[in-house]
Amino acid sequence: MGAAPANQRKKVTLGTLRSLHRKGEAITMMTAHDFPSALVADHAGMDVILVGDSLAMVALGMEDTSEILVEEMLLHCRSVARATKSAFVIGDLPMGSYEVAPEQAHLTAIRYIKEGRVQGIKLEGGKEMASTIQRITAAGIPVLGHIGLTPQRQNALGGFRVQGKTCKSAMAILEDALAVQEAGCFAAVLEAVPAEVAALITETLSIPTIGIGAGAGCSGQVLVQTDMTGNFPPGRYLPKFVKKYGDVWSEAMKAIEAYREEVKSRDYPAKEHTYPMPQEEFEAFEKAVKNL
């Protein structure tokens, strides 16, 4: 299962990401929450795989991301890391595991590297997280910032709302962006920000921005894999920025329904799905059963 792709790429490093940014080539990022979703993202050539805390909702069925624990994230990080041969893997720090003090965040980040086997971490927040980011990056752990809409703070933000729609709030996001850059982030996710604001922030920064709901002017893009592959039942709410590139749900439904039909009708398993036995051995077995 963990076989490397036939056309194996070189391992993506921070150097690779910096070089893509320098050349103006878009950075591709995608979430993966387990071994198979990481395997396909890596084989498909993603530069970065993010074990986002969105897994709380889309993979574990939790109400929101605040419920997930570090231990649960680490289990998923390890499975993603095992599957990923080339992409740069980042693990998301869950709510409550880093905001108390830089030391707490540093200890959690170390667990992600040692136990989660990821290459970097992501944490939400701007200016107020600068000293925390500084502490982690100074210890040699790459940090991806996350500003704009920060879902872990949805209660304070009044829900999943677009951020930076006024000059004042756009300025606040720019200040956050400059603060996380100054603190040492190698890149920053910009979530749910008007495209023109995100583009101007991207032009102002020297580190790459990774947009989600922030338009084409960012240095790269990230999407949640279950959303963009259409791996969910019809009728589920999808944010405006999500483009559904596939219909995994329909494909899986088709396959599982066909399997159900064939099991009921006894068309499955067919002869080609069974293991052969020498005729004389079977006859001997049949005789032995009769003589019981």
Which of these is catalytic: 67, 99, 191, 261? 191
221 binds ligand KIV (CB under 6 A): no
**Could you tell me if 57 and 64 are in contact, meaning their C-beta atoms sit under 8 angstroms apart?**
yes
Instruction: Tell me the residue type at 57.
Output: M
71 is catalytic: no
Give residues 53-82 in contact with ligand KIV (rule: CB under 6 A): 53-54
Q: Which is nearer to ligand KIV, 43 or 146 (CB)?
A: 146
- Cβ-proximal residues to 54 (8 Å cutoff; 6+ apart), any chain: 31, 33, 65, 151, 224
Give me the sign of the Cα torsion angle 282, 284, 287, 288. Answer: negative
Complex with ligand KIV: residue 129 or 212, whichever CB lies closer: 212
Question: Whole-angstrom Cα distance, residue 233 to residue 79?
Answer: 25
Applying CB under 6 A, which of residues 73, 174, 198, 224 lies at the interface with ligand KIV? 224
Do 229 and 257 touch, CB atoms closer than 8 A?
Answer: no
225 part of the interface to ligand KIV, by CB under 6 A: no
Judged by CB under 6 A, does residue 189 bind ligand KIV? yes
The answer to whether 249 and 55 are in contact (CB under 8 A) is no
Q: Which residue is nearest to ligand KIV (CB)?
A: 52
Do the beta carbons of residue 43 and residue 12 sit within 8 Å?
Answer: no
* x-marked contacts with ligand KIV along 12-31 as a string, rule CB under 6 A: -------------------x
Catalytic amino acids?
191
Q: Residue numbers of the site for ligand KIV (CB under 6 A)?
A: 31, 50, 52-54, 92, 189, 212, 222, 224
